[in-house]
Each structure stands twice: as C-alpha cells, then as structure tokens.
Amino acid sequence: MILRLTFPFASFFRQKEVQFILAVSFVLTLFIYLNIWTEPRYRLIAHTPRYKIQASFPPESSTARIIRLERRDTVKAAMNHTWTGYKQNAWLHDELRPLSGVPKTSFGGWGATLVDALDTLYIMGMMSEFEDALISLSTTDFSRPSVDQIAVFEVTIRYLGGLLASQQYLNMYRDAFASFSKNLFFRPQLPSDPDILFPGSLNQWANGDGPPPLDGDVTHLACFVGGMVALGAKINNSSEEFEIARKLTDGCVWAYKNSPSGIMPERFHLFNCPDREKCTKAGEGSAFDSVIDPSYQLRPEAIESVFIMYRLTADTSTNFAYAKLRNVLTPNPTQEDQMESFWLAETLKYFFLLFSEPELVSLDEFVLNTEAHPLKQWGM
C-alpha cells in the first residue's frame, strides 16, 4: 500500500509539530526495541514456557548434528556475504542492488536493511556487526524521509514491526479459520493427485448473489498460511486443523519441487478439485496450469512454514535454494538487480533457525511478526 503525500496529506505531514511527534514516537519505540535486543544473548534460549507448542526433539546423532551445523554455517556465510556487500556499497541506505552494487531508496531512506537485519545479526551471533549497526543507526534522522511517498505497511513492519503485538481472541480465530478454510483452501487437480492444499483467491466480481467462487490463483506470499494455521492448531489442540496446516505447507514444497529450477514461481494458477478429500479429475491437470509471474523475489514465506512445521513436529525439512531470479521456469534463471530487506530479516533468519538448536528463539516463548522479528511473550 502506497500513501502518496499529496493534498491533503502533504500539508499535514509537512507540519513541524507532526514531524516531531512522529520522530519522537519512532525513536522511543526504537529505544525499547534496542534495549530488548542488547540484553545478553542467553535470553533467546528457551527457559520455562507458559504453554508448550514446540515438539520434544529426540536425541541428535553425531552425524545428524554435523550435517545440521554445516547447513547452519552455510546460511550464516550467506548472511555474512550479504551484510558485507550492503555495508560496503549501500551503508545506511534502504536497499542494495546486488548486481550493480548501487544503493536504492525504497522505505523512507532510513536504512531499512540495517534496521530489518538487527535481530538476525543478533540471533546468528554476529555481535561485532550488530554493535556496529547500532552505532551507525544513531546518526539516522527519522524525522526527515528522503522520499515523497511512504509505503505505510512496508515501513511499519520493517521499522516498528518488531515492537508491535496483537491480542488474539480464540472465538474470533475459530470463526475466521472456519471461514477461510471453507472458502479459500483448495486441492489442486494434478496427475499424481497429491494430498496437498493451496490458499486460492476469491472472485469478488463474479455475478450472482451467492458466495464468490474460488479461483486457483496462488502466490508465494500466501505460503505463510501453513505455518500460521499450524500455530493456531497447536494452541487450540486441534489435530484436524494441524493436518490442514501440513497439507498447506506440503503444497508450497510441491511447488518448489515441480519447478524446472527447483524454486517456486511468484504467482501461478492451478485448477481446483471440487472435492478437497479426493480429486476425481486427477490426471487432467499438469504441474502448473499457467504461470502468471515466474520470478523469485527471495521471499521467506515457504521456508517460514517449513521452519514452523519442523519446530512443531520435529520432522526433517525440505531443502530450498535461494536467489533473486527473474524466471524460475528456466534451468538457469537470470538474476535480478534487487535485494529487499526481508532477505536478511526473514529468509536467512528462518533458514538459520531451521538448522539451529530448537531452544534458540523457541516458539514456546517467542512470536515472530510479519517481518520475522521475534517478540517475547509478555511475562516471560
């Protein structure tokens, strides 16, 4: 969502009093956030949870531990490479263009990548880089954006997201889940008839007085739903909801496996089955009915759900590749000159946590917001 600062908003946001209030509010919030994350790192390790949703992990063999740590170190090396490139070529800018090495201003010019990556640096134990980022952040003037357009949602989840929490109400959740489970989730028509689900889209412009028909339009962004449903199912102790979460996560894993490059497209279409339990028309569809956007934008949603399912079940995960790619339907996709801050804040963080000890940022103690900033539960 883009908020264009034109009449009547321009005059409002140009008032010095308004700019001062916004700046003070942001700095105070950032101060609280930094105080949380500058406490000793052991506070990220699980202690005594209020209620337990993570699985009890079995003892790890020495061979499995070696493999897991090698994968974790590979993720950390990717983070180190990303951070070094950002620091050398786009320090204190919102983003780095990874091919040309040119800075990009996209979220107010306040160093979105730096702020977004703070807790990832901390979680990975990159304390020197973390402290250096804090010192440099103190020079940022949050009262003066360098652009005349503010992406309200994106700026909020990046700069303030780690500090925002919401109260969840059980009855509201159950009503909402029942509605979108019935109207949004679908089983795709595929030759092998895999037992998977995808979140589709509703055609609000369809004629008629009944509910809008379901369209099998799938986006990578929607892959977070599997993990979201899994968390709700654990809290509600619902095996039926958890099975739906598993099928949703498996759907996105399927999309990765069935792309020529091994990476799920940004947006594609599938024909949906009339019956979610068994698809009588199995075999009539192909891997993807059509691909609307074949790019891969370094999105974290699929690995987010895989990470959550792994933490909740202790089952092994599926490997994913990662890159900023133009067309994942080709064996050797062309790279794009863009790297959004969620690559550091979310994608790499979820990969790192996936291969870390389950006590690190335990889901029994932390809630991860939209941008994967861990919020410790109140009173923990």
Which three-class secondary structure state does DSSP give residue 47?
coil
**Cα-based torsion angle of the residue sequence 259, 261, 265, 271 in order, rounded to the nearest 10 degrees:** -10
User: Is there a cis peptide before residue 265, judged by omega within 30 degrees of 0?
Assistant: no
Q: Which two tokens stand for residue 241?
A: 């909801």
Residue 318 assigned ligand-binding role: no
As a whole number of angstroms, the distance between CA 5 and CA 142 comes to 17
Pairing type for strands 149-150 and 201-202 reads unpaired
Largest CA distance in the chain: 64
Residue 379 gets the label, from left (phi > 0), alpha (psi -120 to 50) or beta, of: left
For 367, the enclosing helix (H) or strand (E) is strand 366-368
Q: Are 189 and 281 in contact (CB under 8 A)?
A: yes
DSSP letters of 219-232?
Answer: EGGGGHHHHHHHHH
Measured CA to CA in angstroms, residue 252 lies from 53, 154, 195, 271, 349 at distances of 23, 24, 12, 15, 19
Q: Are 322 and 334 in contact (CB under 8 A)?
A: no
Q: Are 76 and 354 in contact (CB under 8 A)?
A: no
- Known binding-site positions: 370
- Known binding-site positions for Ca(2+): 370
